[in-house]
Amino acid sequence: MREKLLLIPGPSPVHPRIISRLALPTVSHVGQEMVEESAAALGNLKKIVFCERGEAFIIAGAGTLAMEMALLNTVDKGDRALILSQGFFGNRMAEICRSFGLDHELMESKWGKAVLPEELEKKLSSKRYSVVVSTHVDTSTGACAPIRDYAEVLRDRDVLFIVDGVCATGGIEERMDDWGIDIILTAAQKCFGAPPGLAILVVSERAMEKRKSIISIPAYYSDLLRWLPIMKDPSKYFSTPCVNEIRGFCESTLIVLEEGIEQRFIRHKRFARAIRAGLAELGFTFFTETPFLADTLSVINYPQGIEDKRFRSLYYENGVVVAGGLGETAGKVFRMGHMGNLSSSQIHFALVALEKTLGSLGYKFEPGSSSRAVKAVLGE
C-alpha cells in the first residue's frame, strides 16, 4: 500500500511508535500489564489537561460517546444546558440533548466565528443555566472558541463548564484546574495522533459530585459511576476495554509529554502559521475569520475554477488526503488538519504536493513560493 499523508481533520497520521505498540499481542484486560498501562494513560492524560484533582476516563467509543457521556452525567431533570455552538459539532451537542430529552438552549455564532464572551455574559444574566457547553475547535468551520475567556465569565457562578476538546486537547492549551473547566471530553484520533476508537473525558470533582447527586441517568454504558471503580482500579471489570488501543493511546500520551506540553502548543501554532503562509502565498483565502483561526486545522476557500472533487482526488494521487466541507460549506472549501505528531518535512511535502496538484489543474501561481513562505515562518 502506498501510504498517503493523512491531513484530514482527524484521524491524523499515527506515529510508528504508536503503531508498534498497537501491534503487540492482546493481553488480559484485567492483568497486571493492562492495569499499569491504563493507570499510566489516565495519569498522563490528567497532566496534559493540567488537572490534579478530578477523574480521567478512557472508554471504547469515540468523541461522540464522550459528548453524550458529558451531557448525560451532568444535566439533571429540571436543569437547563446552554450550548455555545460555532458549527456542526456544537449543533451535535444540541441533537444529543434532544435525543435524551435534556432541557437545553442553543446559542449559535455565525459559521467561521465563535460566540463572544460578552454575549455569553449577557445570556447568563437573562436566565439560569446549570451547565454551559462549548466546542473548543469546531472541525466544520475551523473556528477556535475563546475557552479561557468563557471560563472567566463562568468563574464564581454555580454553572458547570463542559468543553469539547476533540479537535484541540493535546494541541491547544486547556488548563482544567486553573481556568475552572469541569469536563474536557476528547478522542484519540486528533491531537494525540492515535487511531480512532476511544471516548476520553477528564471530569472535575465538582462535576463528579453533580453526577452523584443525580438519582438516575438515562444511560448504562455511558454512566460515569459505573466506570469510576474501573478507572481507580483497572483490574476490576465493567465492560471489556480495548486493550491494544489503550496501549497505543498510552504511547501517544508519552509522546506528548516527551515533546513537552507547552512546546507542543507552540509547535501547533507555528505549523498552523507556516501552512497558512504557504497557502496564502498561492492566493488561497480562509473560511474562518482571522481572530478565530485554530491551530489544529484550516478551512480553505476554493479559488474560482477549482472544483472540489477533482482537486481532492488529484491531491490524493499526489500523496495527500484532505477533507471536503461539511454542511453549508460542502463543495466550497477543503479542510486540512495540522495536528498531532506532524513533522515539518510532512508540512513541506503537503505544500509541494499542493503545488503539483494546482499545476495540473492549470491554476496560476509562482512555483516554489509556498515552500519559501513555509521556510520563512519555520525559520529554516
User: In the structure grid, which three cell numbers stand for residue 131, read together?
Assistant: 451547565
The stretch among 60-68, 97-105, 274-282, 356-364 that binds ligand PMP (CB under 6 A) is 60-68
Out of 10, 112, 117, 337, name the contact with ligand PMP by CB under 6 A: 10
Size of the site for ligand PMP (CB under 6 A): 14
Q: Tell me the β-bridge partners of 335.
A: 299, 323
CB of 128 to ligand PMP, least distance (A): 27
- Cβ contact 271:13 at 8 Å: no
Q: Which three cell numbers stand for residue 221?
A: 454504558
Among 302, 345, 342, smallest CA distance to 325 is for 302
Can you state the angle between helices 261-281 and 344-360, rounded to 10 degrees?
Answer: 20
Distance in angstroms (rounded) separating the CA atoms of residues 168 and 191: 6
Query: In the set 83, 166, 230, 354, which binds ligand PMP (CB under 6 A)?
Result: 166
> Nearer to ligand PMP by C-beta: 37 or 138?
138
Asked if residue 301 lies in contact with residue 276, where contact means CB atoms within 8 angstroms, the answer is no
Piece in contact with ligand PMP (CB under 6 A), picked from 116-124, 159-167, 335-343, 367-375: 159-167
Identity at 35, one-letter amino acid code? V
In the complex with ligand PMP, the residue whose CB is nearer, 186 or 341, is: 186
Considering only the stretches 77-85, 120-128, 131-139, 314-322, report the one whose residues sit in contact with ligand PMP under the rule CB under 6 A. Answer: 131-139
Taking contact as CB under 6 A, which single stretch among the options 135-143, 314-322, 341-349, 354-362 is the one that binds ligand PMP?
135-143
Tell how far CA 302 is from the center of its chain.
Answer: 24
Q: Which of 187, 272, 350, 352 binds ligand PMP (CB under 6 A)?
A: 187
Which of 37, 55, 164, 182 touches ligand PMP (CB under 6 A)? 164
Residue 67 or 347 having the CB closest to ligand PMP: 67
The CA distance from 284 to 280, in Å, is 5
Q: Determine the interface stretch with ligand PMP among 14-22, 72-80, 134-142, 275-283 (rule: CB under 6 A).
A: 134-142
Number of H-type helices and E-type strands within the chain? 14, 15
Options 72-80, 160-168, 222-230, 355-363: segment touching ligand PMP (CB under 6 A): 160-168
The answer to whether residue 135 forms part of the interface with ligand PMP (CB under 6 A) is: yes
What residues from 74 to 113 belong to the interface with ligand PMP (CB under 6 A)? 89
| Kind plus residue range of the DSSP H or E element containing 161 | strand 160-164
Three-state DSSP class for 285?
A: strand
Q: In angstroms, what is the minimal distance from the CB of 43 to ligand PMP?
A: 23
281 binds ligand PMP (CB under 6 A): no
Residue appearing with cell numbers 477556535: 144
Minimum Å distance from CB 169 to ligand PMP?
10
Phi, psi of 249 (to 5 degrees): -65, -40
Grid cell at residue 162: 463542559
Of the pair 44, 169, the CB lying nearest ligand PMP is at 169
The reply to whether 337 sits near ligand PMP by the rule CB under 6 A is: no
- Is residue 15 a contact partner of residue 252, using CB atoms and an 8 Å limit? yes
Residue 64 binds ligand PMP (CB under 6 A): yes
**CB-based contact 10:139 (threshold 8 Å):** yes
Residues in contact with ligand PMP by the rule CB under 6 A: 10, 62-64, 67, 89, 135, 138-139, 164, 166-167, 187, 196
